[in-house]
């Protein structure tokens, strides 16, 4: 039944049947319809506008597609997976890319197969319950205090990052675990602080930090690695990414201290200990031979990733090789129908489409044109001022975007071009700016995993900002003091000038 009281004035013109269908499909009628119209309006206005000075026609067409995608992503008017298919289509139809193969290039990059294989690995783990077993095994070993359980979530997210790509997937795995622990608390002020701290750390913050550590643990990592290889000839292997980013783990204790202090949960005990977790473990029983097989095959994949410089098999292809082992007849007691039902195809399609768009933003000259506009603002400034200024601008832009993947798909090619006009190292500059985008913690809707955490109703937007903004500021200082020098030690000095590896 139609409920006009919930509809904004601009959504009341939509027929009742269409409104009801949108709700059944999980869409918000107040944003989906207006977003859809605005996206197409902006698309045609930019596409048919007089040529912008210095911008090639194909660059203007790419801008039309990019703005269309951003509005669609912000308003969630179209499922993200479908946008991943429509972006290359629009690139072809607008002649931003003249060849179909090039327009759909995001679907054929090695990193795309790496992600797809990792998604299927994660689905197999979910089908067998191995993901929850790992979570329960870690949490059962911590003391029954809130701050110690938060430490457990830190470790769980790191371990799950090895097996499960995408922070939102890890958040989804941990959601029932976090809810189970939260259900043990009574309704009082101290308990409200405790459950808020558990939700915001276990489902929101720590999945994002864990995501930066490993190439496959976060989709923006894959977008940047793909751009580095395609635009610069710089190959970011699995091992190289980890070596460049392992110091990010230093943020864990800092964030832990901030969360414990800001939520004031130092001496709060978990009522009844952690009996819930032990009960869940008992239901699971002992590790099965199939679960050991899954871990063994995944370790084979990791070994192939790490030794890529020696055997020459790229990570995506190595992932497919390891994945093929699972489907030797009789090894896996899980049907393909069950696996494909848990594989997050929408995120995979979004990633491939976002890679295609990122490539087009670079290849059509749009990124360079935008960089040339920004150049006068930062020209002659010290490199620290440039990096902090860019991060501040992107942090503001991110207030309006839900998807971290979408944001980096837009920003990364611009960062590469801006590095060239400012004569900065493009890899270090892009990593600093786009990795910080992962820590967009001003409002929950900036990060999908944080939307899941917010859905637990254990904290409000004011609390989220009160904790999130200090975390962002500390992270910014950490990036400048720790990560930037570390990149320099490893041959990527931000101030070392623009270069390619082709």
Kindly indicate the confidence band of residue 11, based on its pLDDT and cuts at 50, 70 and 90: confident
As to burial, measured by CB atoms within 10 angstroms (0-12 exposed, 13-18 middle, 19+ buried), residue 472 is middle
The confidence score (pLDDT) of residue 53 equals 86
352 to 19, 50, 81, 227: CA distances (angstroms): 30, 31, 9, 12
pLDDT score of 252 more than 70: yes
In which element (H, E) is residue 428 found?
helix 426-437
Least confident span in 89-98, 231-240, 370-379, 488-497: 370-379
Rounded to the nearest integer, the mean pLDDT of the chain is 85
pLDDT score of 484 more than 90: yes
The confidence score (pLDDT) of residue 337 equals 92
pLDDT score of 431 more than 90: yes
What is the Rg, in whole angstroms, of the alpha carbon atoms belonging to the chain? 23
Per-residue pLDDT tens over the stretch 297-321 = 888 888 888 788 788 888 888 888 9
Which range has the top average pLDDT, 110-114, 141-145, 375-379, 430-434?
430-434
Residue 145 has φ and ψ, to the nearest 5°, of -125, 150
Per-residue pLDDT tens over the stretch 103-131 = 998 898 887 887 788 788 878 888 888 88
Least confident span in 52-56, 278-282, 416-420: 278-282
When pLDDT is averaged across residues 247-267 and rounded to a whole number, the result is: 88
When pLDDT is averaged across residues 317-334 and rounded to a whole number, the result is: 88
Residues present in the chain in total: 502
Per-residue pLDDT tens over the stretch 169-182 = 787 777 777 877 78
Kindly indicate the confidence band of residue 1, based on its pLDDT and cuts at 50, 70 and 90: very low
First to last CA, the chain: 60
- Residue 52 tokens read as 């912008």
Measured N-to-C along each axis, helices 345-363 and 110-128 cross at an angle, to the nearest 10 degrees, of: 170
Least confident span in 330-334, 461-465, 491-495: 461-465
Per-residue pLDDT tens over the stretch 57-86 = 999 999 999 889 888 887 888 888 898 899
Measured N-to-C along each axis, helices 404-421 and 345-363 cross at an angle, to the nearest 10 degrees, of: 20
pLDDT score of 207 more than 60: yes
When pLDDT is averaged across residues 374-400 and rounded to a whole number, the result is: 82
When pLDDT is averaged across residues 447-459 and rounded to a whole number, the result is: 78
Least Cα distance to 362 among 375, 351, 371 occurs for: 371
Kindly indicate the confidence band of residue 402, based on its pLDDT and cuts at 50, 70 and 90: low
DSSP secondary structure string for all residues of 337-367: HHHHHHS-HHHHHHHHHHHHHHHHHHHTSHH
Within a 10 A sphere around the Cβ of 329, how many other Cβ atoms? 5
Per the DSSP assignment, residues forming a β-bridge with 269 are: 145
When pLDDT is averaged across residues 383-391 and rounded to a whole number, the result is: 88
The confidence score (pLDDT) of residue 15 equals 84
Distance CA 411, CA 326 (A): 37
Q: How far is C-alpha 473 from the geometric centre of its chain's CA atoms?
A: 20
When pLDDT is averaged across residues 151-156 and rounded to a whole number, the result is: 87
More confident residue, 457 or 356: 356
């Amino acid at each position: 039944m139609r409920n006009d009281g919930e509809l904004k004035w601009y959504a009341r013109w939509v027929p009742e049947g269409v409104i009801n269908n949108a709700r059944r499909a999980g869409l918000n009628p107040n944003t989906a319809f207006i977003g859809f119209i605005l996206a197409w309006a902006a698309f045609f206005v930019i596409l048919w506008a007089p040529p912008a000075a210095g911008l090639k026609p194909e660059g203007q067409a790419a801008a039309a597609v990019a703005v269309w995608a951003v509005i669609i992503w912000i308003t969630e008017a179209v499922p993200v997976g479908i946008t991943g298919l429509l972006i290359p289509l629009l690139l072809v139809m607008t002649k931003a890319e003249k060849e179909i193969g090039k327009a759909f290039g995001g679907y054929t990059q090695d990193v795309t197969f790496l992600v797809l294989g990792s998604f299927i690995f994660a689905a197999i783990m979910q089908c067998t319950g191995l993901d929850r077993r790992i979570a329960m095994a870690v949490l059962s070993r911590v003391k029954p205090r809130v701050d110690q359980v938060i430490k457990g979530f830190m470790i769980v997210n790191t371990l799950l990052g090895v097996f499960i790509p995408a922070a939102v997937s890890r958040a989804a795995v941990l959601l029932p675990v976090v809810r189970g622990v939260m259900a043990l608390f009574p309704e009082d002020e101290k308990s409200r602080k405790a459950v808020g701290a558990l939700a915001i750390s276990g489902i929101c913050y720590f999945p994002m930090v864990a995501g930066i550590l490993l190439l496959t643990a976060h989709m923006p990592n894959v977008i940047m690695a793909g751009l580095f290889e395609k635009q610069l000839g710089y190959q970011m292997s699995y091992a190289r990414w980890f070596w460049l980013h392992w110091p990010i783990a230093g943020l864990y204790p800092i964030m832990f201290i901030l969360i414990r202090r800001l939520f004031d949960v130092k001496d709060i005990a978990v009522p009844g200990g952690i009996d819930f977790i032990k009960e869940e473990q008992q239901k699971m029983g002992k590790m099965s031979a199939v679960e050991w097989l899954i871990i063994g095959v995944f370790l084979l994949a990791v070994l192939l990733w790490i030794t890529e410089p020696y055997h020459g098999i790229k990570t995506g292809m190595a992932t497919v090789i390891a994945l093929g082992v699972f489907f030797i007849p009789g090894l896996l007691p899980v049907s393909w129908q069950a696996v494909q039902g848990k594989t997050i195809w929408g995120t995979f399609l979004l990633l491939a489409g976002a890679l295609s768009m990122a490539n087009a933003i670079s290849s059509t000259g749009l990124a360079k044109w935008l960089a040339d506009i920004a150049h006068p603002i930062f020209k002659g400034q010290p490199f620290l001022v440039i990096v902090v200024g860019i991060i501040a601008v992107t942090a503001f832009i991110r207030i309006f975007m839900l998807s971290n993947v979408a944001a980096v798909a837009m920003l990364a090619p611009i960062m590469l071009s801006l590095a060239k006009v400012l004569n900065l190292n493009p890899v270090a500059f892009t990593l600093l700016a786009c990795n910080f985008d992962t820590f967009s913690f001003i409002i929950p809707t900036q990060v999908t995993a944080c939307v899941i955490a917010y859905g637990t109703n254990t904290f409000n937007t004011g609390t989220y900002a009160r904790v999130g903004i200090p975390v962002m500021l500390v992270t910014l200082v950490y990036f400048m003091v720790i990560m930037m020098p570390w990149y320099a030690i490893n041959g990527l000095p931000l101030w070392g000038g623009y270069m390619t590896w082709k």
